[in-house]
Chains A and B, each alone.
Chain A
Amino acid sequence: MNIPGPVLILGGKSDIGLACAHAFAAEGHPVWLAARDAGQLEAAKTDMALRHGVEVETFAFDATDIAAHEGFVDGLPALPSVVICAVGAMGEQLDNERDVAKAAQVMRANFEGPATLLGVFANRMEARGSGAIVGISSVAGDRGRATNYIYGSAKAGFTAFLSGLRNRLAGAGVHVVTVRPGFVNTAMTAGMDLPAKLTAEPDELGTAVLNAVRKGRNDIYVRRIWWLVMLIIRNIPEMVFKKLSL
């Protein structure tokens, strides 16, 4: 029987990242949680170890500190079997429009940082000839909309990156999964009045990611309805689209 390998969660404090961690831990995988402040992961670490009886370790990293990427990966106990990136930041669209520093920060936290870091894992997994890479992107990347195109454009970049990476590694034994959640009930969306039928709980993402890794799925929406919603949104002619408020 296969011994479940370690799963690294980048953005280990996020609700989506933690839900993924629980899903894998429940299957016996050791879990490595990484966040900017590793001290804030202690409660989650104890909880996860108690619930699932697996080894849990915590690490500090900053996805936007690009120079530190190689060193961070070197510092891990080993190259993980699965790496899941749930790093992201939305900010406020209005702030992002007016303040270039804020816009750049959103672009870095959703695209530049996650993509370059996953790139380091990709190279090493390719050399090893095995592994799975999961990127949590967003439906916001499917088409830019006035209300959140700074975040959306970074996610679009991330989605394209993941698709290229999957293409590159298809023959190398490394599987890449793109996850495009719609609305998820997390810290990021706290206080927003979201439509219940379109809003997934973090658990649903955890299960979906676990299944995608196991079954070799490439690109998933969570809550199937989002596939349809985005199909429609992508196909509205630009002439009409530009006048809509979505």
Chain B
Amino acid sequence: MKLGGWGRFGAEDTALTAPRDGSEAAEALTRGPVIARGNGRAYGQSAVGKTTTISTRNLNKMVSFDAKKGELVAEAGVLIGDIIDAFLPRGWFPYVTPGTKFVTLGGAIAADVHGKNHHIEGSFGQYVTWIEVMEADGTVTRCARNKNRKLFEWTIGGMGLTGVILRAAIRLRPVESAWIRQTMVPAANLRDAMRVFEANHDATYSVAWIDCLATGDALGRSLVMLGEHATAGDLDVTRARRPLAIPPKRKLSVPFDMPGFMLNGHTVRAFNKLYYWKGCRAEGESLVDWDSYFYPLDSILGWNRIYGRKGFLQFQCALPLSTARDGLTALLSAISEAGQGSFLAVLKRLGAQDSRFSFPMEGYTLALDFPATTSALALMDWLDGITLDHGGRFYLAKDARMGADTLRRADPRVGEFAEMRGQKGRAETFQSVQSERLKI
């Protein structure tokens, strides 16, 4: 069948199989090359197998929970959203979550996802105690920081290219409520936004929505959103009665592809202006429920269809602290010059991270999406160049079109990754359409 990524840009033929246990998974490996697929939220073809794609949709059982340590053992196909549904009512929340709750445990580990708290709490991998990985020969290896350490470190951020994650143990964070105390700080331009990030380095969560069509003195105009888990004492009487529950919400869905012309420079510009002014009016503190705070897009199921049939592309790079301001200025100038606005442009401060192949590094990350058009593809090549010039790197979970050379120039770790892939039959057994394109 034809399978693609969340951006719906390009689809490839692959056989999709959904094993129910280890022996079925081992059997699927013989129909390789294969790659594991979680919930398909990576934008490109990270989870599309060259020949066979192993879906973890049937490996979705929770196995045990240790309430003393806050440690959950679960199969790789369990969704972050399932973990929240099950454990938030008991006062636990994931330490790290991406901007959608519809990702699997396996996908979160394989992409070593980051959240709004990366600057102080690091990435998902930090809260993983151990992982069980099915390797190329079909054997299952349990790895941890003190056991089969290399496999552990390569698997976190390894994009499925070390093997199939079957189960893992992760630690959860104790919380007193289901609410976030949000502080909205408008920033007039990029310099201002970065100042807000640096001044609020001790905030648990911080992220900025950025108006990438603003120019001149307003270049980088943004709304910085800071957040803290609300304590029981932060809640009013009604909410304090059931601090771990939130009122049910209505789900919207996008049932069909919107015509591509609905999204253009004008509509995006208008939307961005409106969003910014609304944000400025909401300046200051408010209580926001966890779902709206962490996953604003999840309330519109299938929102990726608003970009129409051709799909869309996401660009996400990280820039080191030393070059971040210049690099971001150059990136934003290029975008506004090209007039290719993006609804969802997100700026985030990243903390220090030392890992084998994960994306985050100390500095800033900028993420934007564009409808998949020839001009957007050209712009993204241009943005690649700017990122390279400033010593930045790219997020593979978002990539759908980068060249192998670009990746090599951006990331010196690729050499060692390839070396690891050369061992134990990994390179022959585990391949995605993306890994083939990037030659990793």
Contact = CB atoms under 8 A, between A and B. Distances in A.
Interface residues of B, number: 14
Contacts of B64: 46, 50
Contact of B61 (A47, A52, A53, A191): A47
B377 to A, nearest CB: 28
Interface string B39-72: 0000000000000000000001111110000000
A44 B20 CA distance: 12
Contact of B86 (A46, A51, A190): A51
A50 B20 contact: no
A67 interface: no
Contacts, number: 26
Interface string A37-72: 000000110110011110000000000000000000
B351 to A, nearest CB: 32
A46 B18 contact: no
A100 interface: no
A240 interface: no
B18 A190 contact: yes
Given A51-B82, A190-B18, A46 B1 contact: no
Nearest to A190: B18
Given A50-B86, A51-B82, A187-B20, A193 B62 contact: no
B1 A50 contact: no
A46 B62 contact: yes
A32 B18 CA distance: 26
Contacts of A47: 60-63
A152 B90 CA distance: 46
Nearest to A45: B61
A191 B60 CA distance: 19
B27 interface: no
Given A51-B82, A51-B85, A52-B86, A43 B61 contact: yes
A43 B82 CA distance: 16
Contacts of B63: 43, 46-47, 50
Interface in B88-108: 90
Contacts of B85: 51
Interface in B1-46: 1, 17-18, 20
A50 B18 contact: no
- List the 4 closest pairs (A to B, CB-CB), nearest first: A47-B61, A51-B86, A50-B62, A47-B62
Given A44-B61, A46-B62, A193-B1, 18 more contacts: A43-B63, A46-B61, A47-B60, A47-B61, A47-B62, A50-B62, A50-B63, A50-B64, A50-B65, A50-B86, A51-B62, A51-B82, A51-B85, A51-B86, A53-B90, A187-B20, A190-B18, A191-B17
